[in-house]
Structure 1
C-alpha cells in the first residue's frame, strides 16, 4: 500500500515509502489543511523521538513501526525505491502520550491542577498539542487524572491510583486478546527462569506477565514497576546455578 510521503528537507530527492495501514489512517482530508501527517513525538516510555501518524483532521493517532532488511528495495511504478523499509501503521491510544506530560507536570508543579493545554506543551515537539484533538480524549482523560471544574474551565492533575486501575484494564484486555487468538506465552515468559525438565504451560500469571510487558512498552519504567506490584506479579528470579560437576578424586601414587 502506498501512503503519503514523509516530510523531507527541500534539498532532498523526492522519495516514497511503502506502508501497511488501516483505511482510517489515510482517509482523504475533509479540508485542504487537514491532511494525514507524519510527525515525531516523545515516546511515552523513554521520552525519545518516535514517529507517529495523525490521520485526517488529527482525529486519531497511529504508531509507525519501520522494518528494514539490508539490500532491500521496492519497485514503485517504473521506478526503484532504494529505501526498502516497510512501515506498519497501527492505532495508538493518545492517552499514553498525554500521560507522559501529566506525570512530568505532576513532578514539576507538585500536584497542581492545570488546564490540559498548559500541560501538553513541548518546545521540541510543537505538534504534541494535536494529541488533545484526538477523538474521545476529553471523555477518557478522567481515567488518569483528578478533575476540577471552575466556571466553564476544567483543570486536571495526574492520579497514579486511577492510572493503575486504567492500566490494569488494558492488561486484562490484552490477556483476553492473547487467549482469543490462541497465542502461547508460557515459553516466552518462563524462558528467563527456565529449569531443565520443567514442562512449559500457559498459566494465568504467564498471560498477565506477558501482557504487562507489552503495556510497559508505552509507559515509563517507574510506572511499569508500580503496575507490576498492582497486578500482584511476583518478582522474577533467575534459575539457581547448576551445581558444579564433581571432579573425580585424584589418585595419589602409593608410597613404596
Structure 2
C-alpha cells in the first residue's frame, strides 16, 4: 500500500483512508495517481495510471455496515477498491468519432490517455493514420472498430461459457439440458455485448449489435408475440371474473322459510311452539 495517494475524485474524499487492491508491479512506493474521467456512456469512473503509463479502472466493492480497522483508527468508509485492467481505446472512441483531423494530443486533452503505451499499440486496430506519422492524426475506421469490439465480446462470452458462469436468474430460462449449444452461446454473446455496451456510446452499441446479429430481449419478445397471433391463439380473449351467480344473503324471507328441514330441525321447531322469544323478557312493560 503506497504511503501517499494523489486523487482528484470527490467520491473518495469521504474518509481519511481508502483500501486498494493493486498489482504490485503497477505502483511505486511513493504515490498512487488516481483520477476520474467521464465514460462514453456518461457516467464518471475512477482510474489510476500505472508506473508504466497504462490505465487501470478502479471498481469499488461495498457492503452494508462495513468499516476498516486501521491501527487504532476506525475508517467508516468500508469500500474495497480493486484495480482492473482497462482498454483506453474505449475512452478514445468518442473523440475519434468526432472526425476532427487534428493531432491526437490536441483531440484528447487528457495526457494520461494519450500517453498510454497500450493506446498507442492498439490505435491502428480501430483507426487509420492520416498524413505523416509524425503528425499523429487518426481517422476512425468503422469496419476495424466493429471487428475489434466483436472480438472483445466473443472473448468475454468464451470465458463465461468455459467456466459455466451463472449470469442471472434468467440465464437458464428457456434452456433445458436438451437445449442446443448454439442457443446457450448466443445468450452469453448477448450478455457480453451488454457488458461492452457499458463502455461505449449508445449508437456504437446498436451498431455492434447489428454487426454481430445479436437479438435482444425486446426483439425476441416481439417475435413471440407475432408467432402467438395465429389460429388458436388466446389473443383477444378476456379473463372472465369468477363470482357467485346468486347472492344468498339477499334471498327473500319466503325463500329462507321454505327451505327444507331435517327431522332434528322439525323437532326443535315443534318444542319451541308457544314459547316466548328471549328478548321479550328485556322489553319495557
Both structures adopt the same fold (TM-score exceeding 0.5): yes
The yes-or-no answer on 1:67 pairing with 2:55 is no
TM-score of the two chains, using structure 1 as the length reference: 0.75
TM-score of the two chains, using structure 2 as the length reference: 0.68
- Give the match for residue 56 of structure 1: 51
The alpha-carbon distance between structure 1 residues 16 and 235, as it changes in their structure 2 partners (threshold 3 A), is closer
Q: Conserved in 1, the CA contact under 8 Å of 2:128 and 2:140?
A: yes
Once the two structures are TM-superposed, the CA of residue 209 in structure 1 deviates from its matched residue by: 0.3
Q: Conserved in 1, the CA contact under 8 Å of 2:8 and 2:35?
A: no
The yes-or-no answer on 1:44 pairing with 2:64 is no
The yes-or-no answer on 1:168 pairing with 2:150 is yes
Once the two structures are TM-superposed, the CA of residue 174 in structure 1 deviates from its matched residue by: 0.8
| Distance in structure 2 (CA, Å) of the matches to 1:219 and 1:171 | 12
- Determine helix, strand or coil for the equivalent of 2:131: strand
- Give the match for residue 24 of structure 2: 23
- Determine helix, strand or coil for the equivalent of 1:84: coil
Once the two structures are TM-superposed, the CA of residue 161 in structure 1 deviates from its matched residue by: 2.0
- Give the match for residue 274 of structure 2: none
- Give the match for residue 257 of structure 2: none
The alpha-carbon distance between structure 1 residues 63 and 8, as it changes in their structure 2 partners (threshold 3 A), is closer
Please tell me whether Structure 1 or Structure 2 has the larger radius of gyration of its CA atoms: 2
Q: Of 61, 73, 78, which aligns to 1:79?
A: 73
Once the two structures are TM-superposed, the CA of residue 8 in structure 1 deviates from its matched residue by: 6.8
Q: Conserved in 2, the CA contact under 8 Å of 1:28 and 1:56?
A: no
The yes-or-no answer on 1:132 pairing with 2:114 is yes
- Give the match for residue 136 of structure 2: 154
| Distance in structure 1 (CA, Å) of the matches to 2:3 and 2:86 | 18
- Determine helix, strand or coil for the equivalent of 1:219: coil
The yes-or-no answer on 1:209 pairing with 2:204 is no
Count of residue correspondences: 227
Runs of 4+ in 1 over 6 A off after TM superposition: none
Q: Conserved in 2, the CA contact under 8 Å of 1:186 and 1:206?
A: no
| Distance in structure 1 (CA, Å) of the matches to 2:129 and 2:164 | 40
- Give the match for residue 119 of structure 1: 107
Q: Provide Cα deviations, 1:79-115, integer angstroms capped at 9, x if missing partner.
A: 1112222112111111111112222x22xx4xxx321
| Distance in structure 2 (CA, Å) of the matches to 1:2 and 1:68 | 21
Q: Conserved in 2, the CA contact under 8 Å of 1:39 and 1:53?
A: yes
| Distance in structure 2 (CA, Å) of the matches to 1:182 and 1:49 | 31
Q: Which runs of 5+ in 2 are unaligned?
A: 229-233, 248-285
- Determine helix, strand or coil for the equivalent of 1:203: helix
| Distance in structure 1 (CA, Å) of the matches to 2:15 and 2:50 | 22
Larger helix proportion of the pair: 2
| Distance in structure 2 (CA, Å) of the matches to 1:210 and 1:185 | 8
Q: Which runs of 5+ in 1 are unaligned?
A: 30-34, 122-127
Query: Greater relative contact order: 1 or 2 (C-alpha under 8 angstroms, separation 6 or more)?
Result: 1
| Distance in structure 2 (CA, Å) of the matches to 1:101 and 1:64 | 22
- Give the match for residue 7 of structure 2: 7
Q: Conserved in 2, the CA contact under 8 Å of 1:53 and 1:61?
A: yes
Once the two structures are TM-superposed, the CA of residue 207 in structure 1 deviates from its matched residue by: 1.1
| Distance in structure 1 (CA, Å) of the matches to 2:5 and 2:136 | 38
Residue pairs, 1:171-182, within 5 angstroms? 171-182=153-164
- Give the match for residue 232 of structure 1: 213
| Distance in structure 1 (CA, Å) of the matches to 2:112 and 2:246 | 81
